[in-house]
A and B are shown apart, each in its own frame.
Chain A
Amino acid sequence: MAQLTYREAVRDGIAQEMRRDEDVVFLGEDVAAAGGVFKTTVGLLEEFGPDRVRDTPISEQAIIGAAMGASMTGLRPIAEIMFSDFFAVCWDLVANQIAKTRYMTDGQCSFPLVLRSANGGGSRFGAQHSQSVENWAMAIPGLKVVAPSTPADVKGLLAASVRDPDPVMFFEQKSLYAVKGDVPDGEHVEPLGVARVVRDGDDVTIAALAAMVPRALKAADTLADEHGISAEVIDIRSLVPLDTQTLFDSVSRTGRLVTVEENPRLCGWGAELSSIVAEELFWDLEGPIMRVTTPHIPLPSADALEDAVLPSAERIVDNVIRLVD
Chain B
Amino acid sequence: MGNTAAAKKTAIVQAPGIDQATRLKLYRVMYECRVLEQRAYDLFMQNLVKGTSHLALGQEAVAAGFGTAMRSDDYTFCTYRGHNHTYVRGVTMTSILGELMGRECGLLRGKGGSMHLTSVEHGAMGSYAIIGAHLPVAAGAAWSAQYKGTGQVSVCFFGDGTTNIGAFHEALNFAVIWNLPVVFVCENNLYMEYTPIDEVTAVKNPAADRAGAYGLASIVIDGNDADVVYEAACAALDKARRGDGPSLIEAHTYRHGGHSRADPGKYRPDEELQAWLARDPIPMYRKRLIDLDVSEAEIEAIESETDAVIDQATEEARNSPPPPVDIAHIDVWADGSATWRN
Measured CB to CB, the residues of A under 8 A from B are 25, 51, 54, 56-57, 59-75, 77, 92-93, 96-97, 101-110, 112, 141-142, 165-166, 193, 240-245, 276
Residue of A nearest to B331 (CB): A107
Establish whether residues B334 and A241, one from each chain, have CB atoms under 8 Å apart when the complex forms: no
Residues of A contacting B133 with CB < 8 Å? 61, 65, 92-93, 96-97
Residues of B contacting A97 with CB < 8 Å? 128, 130, 133-134, 137
Establish whether residues B111 and A69, one from each chain, have CB atoms under 8 Å apart when the complex forms: no
Which of B170-178, B293-301, B304-312 participates in binding chain A?
B170-178
16 A–B pairs (Cβ distance < 8 Å), ordered by A: A51-B147, A56-B174, A61-B133, A62-B139, A64-B136, A65-B139, A68-B140, A69-B77, A69-B143, A70-B144, A73-B75, A103-B332, A107-B330, A108-B118, A241-B342, A242-B340
Question: Which of B109, B132, B141, B332 is in CB contact (< 8 Å) with A70?
Answer: B141
Measured CB to CB, the residues of B under 8 A from A are 75, 77, 107-109, 111-112, 116, 118-121, 125-126, 128, 130, 132-145, 147-148, 154, 166-167, 170-171, 173-174, 177-178, 327, 330-336, 338-342
Known interface pairs A74-B148, A97-B128, A241-B340; A108-B143 also in contact (CB < 8 Å): no
A25 to B336, CA, bound (A): 25
Residues of B contacting A67 with CB < 8 Å? 140
A17 to B211, CA, bound (A): 38
Residue of B nearest to A99 (CB): B332
Establish whether residues A70 and B330, one from each chain, have CB atoms under 8 Å apart when the complex forms: no
The minimal Cβ–Cβ distance linking B74 to chain A, given in whole angstroms, is 11
Residue of A nearest to B336 (CB): A107
Establish whether residues B145 and A73, one from each chain, have CB atoms under 8 Å apart when the complex forms: yes
Apart from A108-B120, A241-B339, 11 more pairs, CB < 8 Å: A57-B174, A65-B140, A66-B140, A69-B141, A70-B143, A73-B125, A101-B118, A102-B334, A103-B332, A166-B334, A241-B340
Establish whether residues A244 and B143, one from each chain, have CB atoms under 8 Å apart when the complex forms: no
The minimal Cβ–Cβ distance linking B160 to chain A, given in whole angstroms, is 19
Residues of B contacting A75 with CB < 8 Å? 143-144, 147-148
Residue of A nearest to B123 (CB): A73
Establish whether residues B140 and A70, one from each chain, have CB atoms under 8 Å apart when the complex forms: yes
Residues of B contacting A74 with CB < 8 Å? 144, 148
Residue of A nearest to B139 (CB): A66
Residues of A contacting B118 with CB < 8 Å? 101, 104-105, 108-109
Establish whether residues B130 and A96, one from each chain, have CB atoms under 8 Å apart when the complex forms: yes
The minimal Cβ–Cβ distance linking B273 to chain A, given in whole angstroms, is 33
Establish whether residues B116 and A105, one from each chain, have CB atoms under 8 Å apart when the complex forms: yes
Residue of A nearest to B167 (CB): A61
Residue of A nearest to B327 (CB): A106
Residues of A contacting B142 with CB < 8 Å? 69
Residues of A contacting B109 with CB < 8 Å? 106
Residue of A nearest to B125 (CB): A72
Residue of A nearest to B111 (CB): A106
Residues of A contacting B143 with CB < 8 Å? 66, 69-70, 75
Known interface pairs A57-B177, A65-B167, A101-B126; A73-B144 also in contact (CB < 8 Å): yes
Establish whether residues A92 and B130, one from each chain, have CB atoms under 8 Å apart when the complex forms: yes
A271 to B339, CA, bound (A): 19
A276 to B341, CA, bound (A): 11
Establish whether residues A69 and B120, one from each chain, have CB atoms under 8 Å apart when the complex forms: no
The minimal Cβ–Cβ distance linking A247 to chain B, given in whole angstroms, is 10
A96 to B130, CA, bound (A): 8
Residues of A contacting B128 with CB < 8 Å? 97
A56 to B116, CA, bound (A): 29
Known interface pairs A97-B137, A241-B341; A57-B173 also in contact (CB < 8 Å): yes
A54 to B144, CA, bound (A): 13
Residues of A contacting B141 with CB < 8 Å? 69-70, 72-73
A254 to B76, CA, bound (A): 56
Establish whether residues A61 and B170, one from each chain, have CB atoms under 8 Å apart when the complex forms: yes
Residues of B contacting A110 with CB < 8 Å? 334
A254 to B167, CA, bound (A): 51
Known interface pairs A73-B141, A105-B108; A62-B120 also in contact (CB < 8 Å): no
The minimal Cβ–Cβ distance linking B150 to chain A, given in whole angstroms, is 9
The minimal Cβ–Cβ distance linking B70 to chain A, given in whole angstroms, is 15
Establish whether residues B116 and A104, one from each chain, have CB atoms under 8 Å apart when the complex forms: yes
Residues of B contacting A57 with CB < 8 Å? 170, 173-174, 177
Question: Which of A59, A68, A104 is in CB contact (< 8 Å) with B173?
Answer: A59
Residues of B contacting A70 with CB < 8 Å? 140-141, 143-144, 147
A165 to B334, CA, bound (A): 6
Establish whether residues B339 and A68, one from each chain, have CB atoms under 8 Å apart when the complex forms: no
Establish whether residues B330 and A65, one from each chain, have CB atoms under 8 Å apart when the complex forms: no
A308 to B3, CA, bound (A): 84
The minimal Cβ–Cβ distance linking B220 to chain A, given in whole angstroms, is 25
Question: Which of B173, B335, B338, B341 is in CB contact (< 8 Å) with A165?
Answer: B335
